[in-house]
Amino acid sequence: MYPSEKVLEIKHPVIARDLTILRDKNTSTAVFRLALGRISTILAYNALKNIPLRDFIVETPIKNTTGYEIDAEIVVIPILRAGLGLVDAITTFIPDARVGHLGMYRDEVTKKPVDYYVNIPNGIENALVLVVDPMLATGGSACDAISFLKSKGAKNIRFICLISAPEGIDKVLNDHPDVSIITASVDECLNENKYIVPGLGDAGDRIYGTT
């Protein structure tokens, strides 16, 4: 068990159903994307629970009352390419969130992440930075991304993923104890090829219909 303030595993009937759809190897690309979108929306809702609000007076047709607006700048950083599948859910809640891109792939020999593209908005020093990737496997890509963003000044980072392995969680918590993780499932382990068990295969391939 992990401390809830560090690892939030979301339990919800819709997530349980949709994770089953995502795990099924026979699920089509179109159905996979729809299930991914539904889970991502629930994850985004929970990831944004504690952001600050600013109150102001709003005039209703009846009388003045107190209204609220988000009092935080939100920056979303998907780890390409699969992380793009989670972005729309967050921008549905926060339409003015800025979106950067961080491209990484896993070297099939070393099993380590390799950077190939970076485009990060200015001003992340004072923003809530949401790093999103469907899978947290070894934790290499996540930690590499978080370290890079910290080097650019980010101080408030949360990591959002669909599926996580204990090995990846342990690495993030060890390397970046100030970063919280929001996930739909903590799976069993990694196999000898560093894939999550039971997992759902390669999320990027299944989102985009590639092999």
Which among 205, 206, 210, 211 is annotated as catalytic?
A: 205
Active site residue 178: no
Which among 65, 66, 110, 211 is annotated as catalytic?
A: 110
CA dihedral 41, 168, 73, 207 (to 10 degrees): -40
Active site residue 158: no
Which among 38, 106, 158, 175 is annotated as catalytic?
A: 106
Active site residue 106: yes
CB 164 within 8 A of CB 187: yes
H/E stretch holding 161? strand 156-164
Active site residue 183: no
Cβ within 8 Å of residue 199, ≥6 positions away: 23, 135, 163, 187
Which among 202, 206, 210, 211 is annotated as catalytic?
A: 202
| Cα 180–chain centre separation | 11
CA dihedral 16, 21, 25, 28 (to 10 degrees): -160
CB 175 within 8 A of CB 165: no
Q: How far apart are CA 132 and CA 46, in angstroms?
A: 14
**Residues identified as active-site:** 106, 110, 202, 205
